[in-house]
Chains A and B, each alone.
Chain A
Amino acid sequence: MILNKEEFCEKIHMYENSMYYLAFSLVRNDADAADVISEAIYRAYSNLNKLKNKKSFKAWILQIVHNTAVEMIRKNSKIVPMEDIENKIQGSIQYDLTTKITLKEAINQLKHPYQTVVILFYYENLSIIEISRITNISIVSVKKQLSRARKMLYEVLKEDFDL
Chain B
Amino acid sequence: MNRKDKYIREKLNETKEEIPASVKNKIEKTLNSLPEQKRGDSTFVVFRKFAIACLCFLFVAIILLPNISVTYAETLEKIPVLKEVIKVVTIRNYFYDDEYHEMNIEVPKVEGDSESIDFINADVEELTKYIADKFYEEANDLKDEAHTAVSINYEVVVDTKEWFTLKLQINTMTGSGNTFFKYYNLNKLNGNIVSLNDIVIDDEFYNVVKEEIKSQMKKQMEDNPDLKYWIDDSVFGDDLLSIDAKHNYYFSSNYDLVIPFEKYEAAPGYMGTYEFILDKNLIKDYISDEINEILFG
Contact = CB atoms under 8 A, between A and B. Distances in A.
Interface in A37-59: 37-39, 41-43, 45-50
A63 interface: yes
B15 A42 contact: no
Nearest to B228: A71
B226 A75 contact: yes
Given A75-B228, A75-B270, A123-B12, 14 more contacts: A5-B36, A33-B23, A34-B22, A34-B23, A37-B27, A42-B51, A47-B235, A68-B268, A74-B225, A103-B11, A122-B8, A122-B12, A150-B4, A157-B8
B18 A122 contact: no
Contacts of B8: 103, 122, 153, 157
Interface of B: 4-5, 7-9, 11-13, 15-16, 18-20, 22-24, 26-27, 29-31, 34, 36-37, 43-44, 47-48, 50-52, 176, 225-226, 228, 233-236, 239-240, 264, 268-271
Interface string A19-40: 0100000000011011101110
Contacts of B269: 35, 39
26 contacts: A5-B36, A5-B37, A16-B27, A20-B20, A30-B23, A35-B269, A37-B23, A37-B27, A38-B27, A38-B29, A38-B30, A38-B52, A38-B176, A42-B34, A42-B52, A46-B47, A46-B48, A47-B235, A75-B270, A76-B270, A77-B226, A102-B15, A103-B8, A103-B12, A107-B12, A123-B13
Contacts of B20: 20, 30
Interface string A74-92: 1111000000000000000
Interface of chain A: mostly helix, strand, loop or mixed:
helix
Contact of B26 (A1, A37, A75): A37
Contact of A104 (B15, B22, B44, B51): B15
A41 B264 CA distance: 13
Contact of B5 (A31, A77, A122): A122
Given A39-B52, A68-B268, A161-B4, A9 B31 contact: yes
Interface residues of A, number: 52
Nearest to A21: B19
A20 B23 contact: yes
